[in-house]
Structure 1
Amino acid sequence: MGWNIVYQFRKAQNEIDRYLKLVPLITLVDNARVRERLEVIEKDQHEYTLDEEDRRVQDVIMKPEPSRNDTIILKKTLSCSYPNMGFNEALKEENEKLRLELHRSQSNYDVKQCEVIQHLLDVTEVAATSITETTKGSKKVERNYSDAASEKDHSIDANSPKKSDSRTTSRNTSSVSSGHDLLSDRGSHRYEEWNADLLGCCSEPSLCIKTFFYPCGTFSKIATVATNRHMSSAEACNELMAYSLILSCCCYTCCVRRKLRKTLNIMGGFIDDFLSHLMCCCCALVQEWREVEMRGIYGPEKTKTSPPPSQFMES
């Protein structure tokens, strides 16, 4: 009986050793395959070119001064990317995405990427203004026909051409301004004031009470948006406790508020931030989080890691 147990134990141990020896072999095979693919890529001397349509789109986007005649090409590409949306809605969607990427690039101080994104925003704005001018132009032609008919019916005045010219010029300027407003209403928060009031924390009593008794939770969310890096409540609590030991907790929260202002492009100064947190830190935190919710800009989420799936080997 005893020798049978010893034999079974040795057999199981040999199986385990054999499986452990196979695992490094599998990794070696995978590494060899990756090296072979890299060698094939390096040996490839072919020249790859874009299709005719892709090349046209790239030429339109990379023009230093985009023109209104290129709107047709952009309209075709956007209609393929957004088949269930109109052209105006697709432009708004792309503009919102570009604005969000511009905020991230500005927070990371990436100048080259900011220039490229700003150029793409200019392209979308030119496309929007051209569309609004065409729609306004059709309405303007109909109105001109009606004005001409009314002028024939009524008495002819010498000052009537001047009035019509002033009307057409005002309509042209309004069409251009409406085209710019089409894309700049949402997503642009440059040099704005706080939408949330510092002393308006009582408008949301639940958030105010939660921040008063547990400020680390609210502060961690604000720091995540300000630094563009996920911060948990435990990390925020450790940071606040550490700075409280050297009596500089208010300075630390003030610096986070300053980063948040730069991220959201809000006017203000370092002294204003310091006095806000010195007067009532709870009110300042509530104001900052309400501002983030109003703007709809949230930081990155926590990265989730999952274990690899279980593998079975057939003997």
Structure 2
Amino acid sequence: MSVASGNRNVKNLPVGADGRDWSNGLCGCCSAPGTCITAWCCPCITYGRVKNRYAHLNSRGSPDPDQGGCCSSDCMIHGCITMLGFGWVMQMMLRGDIRSRYNISGGGCGDCCTAFCCTPCELTQESRELELEEQTYGKY
């Protein structure tokens, strides 16, 4: 989908043949303490917000005015699946979608390992990537 405004590479990171790096490192989650704490305590809420913000940007070409909301159906499904030990699978799929949107290098194996081993940091990294694009619209 073509977006009229919004910069998907806000930091103007170099783009190689296989894409670019994430705008923020995986271990940089402490620079967004609110998101990081929520991702540690209630990953389902952070996942739901990221999923809704991503979907809004992807389908409407503008930031979600509710900034992802709170307890959406995505949040509820993630919470239930997490209780069974498989919430990371949903995160892995969303991570691949976000990588594709922002032309970020990597692959399914890396997405799987990151979602499984580093859930809070992974969710925070994705949230911050979306936030950078949202800020270029001038609303946030």
Shorter-chain TM band: 0.5 to 0.7
Equivalent residue in structure 2 for 1:239, among 77, 84, 94: 77
Q: Give yes or no for the alignment of 1:211 onto 2:39.
A: yes
| CA shift in 2, pair 1:297/1:269, >3 Å | farther
Which amino acid is 1:206 matched to?
G
Provide, for residues 281-307 of structure 1, a one-character-per-residue CA deviation record: whole Å limited to 9, x for no partner. Answer: 001011111111123379xxxxxxxxx
TM-score (norm. length: structure 2): 0.68
**Structure 2: runs of 5+ lacking an equivalent:** 10-14
Q: Specify which structure has the higher proportion of helix.
A: 1
Cα deviation for residue 226 of structure 1 reads 3.3
Q: Give yes or no for the alignment of 1:281 onto 2:110.
A: no
Equivalent residue in structure 1 for 2:3, among 89, 100, 103: 100
* Percent identity over paired residues: 25
| CA shift in 2, pair 1:280/1:246, >3 Å | same
Structure 2 residue aligned with 1:187: 7
Partners in 2 of 1:212 and 1:188 — Cα distance?
A: 27
| CA shift in 2, pair 1:188/1:258, >3 Å | closer
Equivalent residue in structure 1 for 2:50, among 200, 222, 246: 222
| CA shift in 2, pair 1:245/1:210, >3 Å | closer
> Secondary structure of 1:100's match?
coil
> Secondary structure of 1:293's match?
helix
Partners in 1 of 2:121 and 2:74 — Cα distance?
A: 18
Cα deviation for residue 240 of structure 1 reads 1.1
Partners in 2 of 1:241 and 1:235 — Cα distance?
A: 10
Cα deviation for residue 270 of structure 1 reads 0.6
Which runs of at least 4 in structure 1 moved beyond 4 Å after TM superposition?
229-232
- 8 Å CA contact 2:8–2:133 kept in 1: the answer is no
- 8 Å CA contact 1:225–1:297 kept in 2: the answer is no
Q: Give yes or no for the alignment of 1:200 onto 2:28.
A: yes
Which amino acid is 1:202 matched to?
C
- 8 Å CA contact 2:44–2:79 kept in 1: the answer is no
Partners in 2 of 1:192 and 1:291 — Cα distance?
A: 12
TM-score (norm. length: structure 1): 0.33
> Secondary structure of 2:27's match?
coil
Larger Rg: 1
Cα deviation for residue 99 of structure 1 reads 5.4
Which amino acid is 1:290 matched to?
R
Provide, for residues 31-89 of structure 1, a one-character-per-residue CA deviation record: whole Å limited to 9, x for no partner. Answer: xxxxxxxxxxxxxxxxxxxxxxxxxxxxxxxxxxxxxxxxxxxxxxxxxxxxxxxxxxx
Q: What are the residue-to-residue correspondences of 1:271-310 with 2, within 5 Å? A: 271-296=109-134
